[in-house]
Amino acid sequence: MTAPDHVVGVGVDLLADAIEAQAVDVTRVDWRPPMPGTEAGLATVAADPRRRAANEEAVARMLRVQAMLVDVGPASAILGLEPGHFLHAGPPITWDRASGPLRGALMGAAALEGLVDDPEDAGPLFERGQHVSLEPCHHRGAVGPMAGVVTPSMWMFVLEDPDTGARTHCTLNEGLGKVLRYGAYAPEVLDRLRWMAGVLGPLLQAAVRSSGPVDVTGILTQMLQMGDEAHNRNRAGTLMLMRDLAPALVSAAADAGFTTDDVADALRFVGGNDHFFLNLAMPACKLALDAARDIPGSTMVVAMARNGTDFGIQVSGTGDEWFTGPAQLADGLFLGDYGPDDANPDIGDSAITETAGIGGFAMATAPAIVRLVGGSVPDALATTRRMHEITLAENPRWSVPVLEFQGVPTGIDVTRVCRTGVLPQINTGMAGRVAGVGQVGAGLVTPPAEVFPTALARLAELAAAAD
Amino acid sequence: MTEHVELRHGAYADSVTLLQVSRTVQDEAGVVAAQVAMATPLNLEVLAGMGFTVPAAAPDDLVVALRLDESAELDSVLAAVDAALSRSTAPSGGTTEHAPPRTTATALRLAPQALVLVSVPGAHALVEAVDALDAGSDVMVFSDNVPLAQEVALKRMASERHLLVMGPDCGTAVVGGLGLGFANVTSPGPVGIVAASGTGCQQLLALLDHAGVGVSSALGVGGRDLSAEVRGLSTRTALTRLDADPGVELIVLVSKPPASDVAAEIEEYADSLATPVELALLGPGQPDLTAAAESVLRRLDRDVPAWPVTGSADAPLLPDGSILRGLFVGGTLCEESRLIAGELLGADRVDLVDFGADELTGGRAHPMIDPTLRLEQLSRAAADVRTGVVLLDVVLGHGAEPDPSALLAPAVTAAERPVVVSVVGTAHDPQDLDRQVRILAEAGAEVHLSNATATRRAVELLGGGR
């Protein structure tokens, strides 16, 4: 046997010193005890004979997915939503526990659908709950940013993986400031949504149908090399989408019954909304992660989502079960005169981007926005490196130039979060806590730590049962 | 006199680091006693023994316990505690952008193919070791207190993947000349060792080195590997590896007393290998380690030397001194002495303690690193008039205390009765074997290289050896 030329030492430094004294390199692990109460569960799951192959399979399935934008259409047609049916972000919630921005968005959407004339009158409708129902976007193959409210008349992107035919969906992005997804419901908010359903959606539909599918995963690959992390910065992605769709949009408009002014309005709206591509990045991430669902023994997180009250995660090996804890307040910068007291706890399905390895996980590639979320460039590099501690793989398609083109940290592993106490880093917008206010800031947030030990305990229970 | 006891939640440092911190703080002016340790049951017992009252604590809490005289300022001593702790836990250079890896899995991404050495507390060892197996690396688990069921699970996983788990509770290994854990410095040579016994392996290394025979690899497999539960899973892999090494002419398998049916299975497996295997399985009626070393030398056609003895146990036996008190840091050495002395003197005249046993190391460094508990016990043994002869072992090599005789010699002299010591080490060990032997001999001990001859001599001094 030949002597190893490198040793990894975890534990007592003295033993590593003794090896270095024999002129062999040692990489020392900065080991610390795991999250309290996880010791036994970690051992059980580590010893689960299904775990390694299950996680390899989860990562492979996820990385195989190609997300193509194949269609645009109203939620009534695409998801079969009926009047009175409301989708929302995050894990399941009822009106009585809903936060201000979710209530505001539901109230605005009720008016948009004609269930009430004035959004302010919608409260009793939801309190009685007789003619309305709430359901998470995630349960219907969709994701929604912030409040994530989807109703039948809203238009949605349809993304498809050509290999499997699997699909995911997301509404069209309304822009920043006073918008429904941040809980605003003023008349101009509803007017904008009506224009999106009447002009923007049908124009995009005509363009996509005439140009053929748009490779969303491919745009993500490029935008990550252009300073976007695809959660709080989507500028390059938005412009590339325009580049791909504008010619078809111009040529198909007339046949679809739209004027050149409509086309100009649509292009101005998309070009003027740096976040337009977010609503394609999110369903692309969900499409990839959905492929990794339901693999027995896998400890990979397949969804992180917040409804403004609860933060929930779903894990491949535990099916559709949500593990929830209280949504946290983001730490960051505020718009205008707003301050921490004005902010609602974390909300939105957009943490699906972090779950897929971008957003906060790819912070190193987006130095332009580190100040927006209250950080520095070294922080951004450190954040992406730190996320490799809790992930199973690197994504070879999505790479970060400044980190020597290292792939983004991919596939959050529940066990590694419990072992290191390192929590997933999420970039997020902040909604006002009062219904109707809209966006008040942007910042950084993490899940409540306890959701990971809870998920681990369930994984351990299932591992023991499978033994 | 002031006492100060505080718990720090979420603070963690390994037992060796905390030993160094405790020693540093003890040297501060006005400090009568200081103990900075994790709140494991054993450490809480030690703290109680020192007279401290510790509030309810969990094993992950850090306890800072101080006893100060009038000249000391509590604040300045606490500042010294913090300074010592932060010195020991500061990352070894680099910026926050390049934080050190937090798990073995991450470290292996930076250094693929590396051998992994795990020495975290036993309850956490499996998880780190599995990281190694997942990455296709062999792993040595130095940690003790690993549950038996976890050992079995880990070794099954390794066996399926043709990977080697050395341990748990593997104190010693030499892999292609690289010493891991408490390994002695050996020359390359024709012998390969598989050891379900750390200090048993070190005894063989020491004796063969004295006889001029080198050892190319010594693969520890953990003391329970030949138990009825583990069934030699790692022993088989280790034997296979050494059999495939063209440099190994003779394999020695050394073990604490094995389960008899497992011993038979392994013997059968050993017979199927191309390389001859010398079995040194301790047990009643079986050859001791020294006899096994002699047998190895004969199989290699080498001369068997006289095993060195230095000094003499001159102190007279006390009138009531009839008991052999053995205080060991080496588990297998203790076991060997128990077998030899028990047969010659009868079990009721033999009182041997293994300070490396799991129950005496929870949250504490191994006695080869931290001699405190054994030194305390030695003074108690010396105060007991029934103690006839004191038998000690000193184990040298990488990782062990830099100068063990320095602390032991005054206690040997103070014992004022015959003291026999086996000093297990090789000529090139960092502690300087000759010097360690000389210091103990000058303190009045009779020093042997062979633990078996040391034990027989102690029995003889007690008038045993029927």
**A189 with A119: CB under 8 angstroms?**
no
ipTM greater than 0.85: yes
Distance from CA of A343 to the nearest CA of B (A): 30
Options 3.60.15.10, 3.90.1700.10, 3.30.70.260, 1.10.10.10; CATH for A39-62+293-466 is 3.90.1700.10
Mean per-residue pLDDT of chain A: 95
Give the three-state DSSP class for B98: helix
Q: Which two tokens stand for residue A97?
A: 């526990």
Q: For residue B95, what pLDDT band results from cuts at 50, 70 and 90?
A: very low
> Within 10 A of A254 (CB to CB), how many other CB atoms are there?
12
Which DSSP string corresponds to B272-330? Answer: TSSS-EEEEE--TTS--HHHHHHHHHHHTT---PPPPEES---SPPPTT--EEEEEES-
For B262-282, the pLDDT digits (tens) are: 999 999 999 999 999 999 999
Give the three-state DSSP class for B3: strand
Chain B residues with CB under 8 Å of A32 CB are 12, 102
B426-437 average pLDDT score: 96
* pLDDT of A374 strictly over 70: no
Which of B14, B40, B113, B119 would best serve as a mutation to test chain A binding (most A beta carbons within 10 A)?
A: B119
User: Across the interface, do B157 and A422 touch by the CB < 8 Å criterion?
Assistant: no
What b/e string do you get for A267-278 counting C-beta neighbours within 10 Å, with b at 16 or more?
Answer: bebbeebbbbbb
Angle at B64 between CA B63 and CA B69, to 5 degrees: 145
Chain A residues with CB under 8 Å of B102 CB are 29-32, 389, 419-420, 422
Give the three-state DSSP class for A39: helix
The closest alpha carbon to B61, from B18, B114, B7, B21, belongs to B7
In whole angstroms, give the CA distance from residue A210 to residue A235: 25
* pLDDT of A452 strictly over 90: yes
User: Across the interface, do B115 and A9 touch by the CB < 8 Å criterion?
Assistant: no
Domain ranges in chain A with CATH number 3.90.1710.10: 66-282
For A69-102, the pLDDT digits (tens) are: 999 999 999 999 999 999 999 999 999 999 999 9
A50 in contact with B, Cβ within 8 Å:
no
Q: Which two tokens stand for residue A320?
A: 């559709």
* pLDDT of B466 strictly over 50: no
So what's the pLDDT on residue A303?
A: 98
Query: Half-sphere exposure of B235 toward its Cβ, with a 13 Å CA cutoff?
Result: 31
User: Across the interface, do A12 and B119 touch by the CB < 8 Å criterion?
Assistant: yes
Mean per-residue pLDDT of chain B: 91
So what's the pLDDT on residue B94?
A: 39
Distance from CA of A278 to the nearest CA of B (A): 28
So what's the pLDDT on residue B91?
A: 46
So what's the pLDDT on residue B72?
A: 85
pTM to 2 decimals?
Answer: 0.88
Domain ranges in chain A with CATH number 3.90.1700.10: 39-62+293-466
So what's the pLDDT on residue B465?
A: 55
For B46-78, the pLDDT digits (tens) are: 888 888 988 888 888 889 999 999 888 888 888
**One-letter amino acid for residue A287 of the chain:** L
* pLDDT of A435 strictly over 90: no
In whole angstroms, give the CA distance from residue B27 to residue B127: 37
User: Across the interface, do B126 and A46 touch by the CB < 8 Å criterion?
Assistant: yes
Chain A residues with CB under 8 Å of B121 CB are 33
* pLDDT of B90 strictly over 60: no
Q: Which two tokens stand for residue A374?
A: 């209250």
Q: What is the architecture, at CATH level 2, of domain A66-282?
A: Alpha-Beta Complex (3.90)
Give the three-state DSSP class for A293: coil
Out of A2, A28, A416, closest to residue B103 by CB: A416
Which of B18, B20, B23, B97 would best serve as a mutation to test chain A binding (most A beta carbons within 10 A)?
A: B97
So what's the pLDDT on residue B96?
A: 47
B401-407 average pLDDT score: 93
Helices then strands, each counted (H, E), chain A? 16, 17
User: Across the interface, do B97 and A385 touch by the CB < 8 Å criterion?
Assistant: yes
In whole angstroms, give the CA distance from residue B205 to residue B182: 12
For A51-73, the pLDDT digits (tens) are: 999 999 999 999 999 999 999 99
So what's the pLDDT on residue B17?
A: 80
Give the three-state DSSP class for A186: coil
* pLDDT of B352 strictly over 70: yes
In whole angstroms, give the CA distance from residue B102 to residue A419: 9
User: Across the interface, do A30 and B150 touch by the CB < 8 Å criterion?
Assistant: no
C-alpha distance from residue A178 to each of A172, A235, A279, A416, B66 (Å): 15, 20, 17, 39, 60
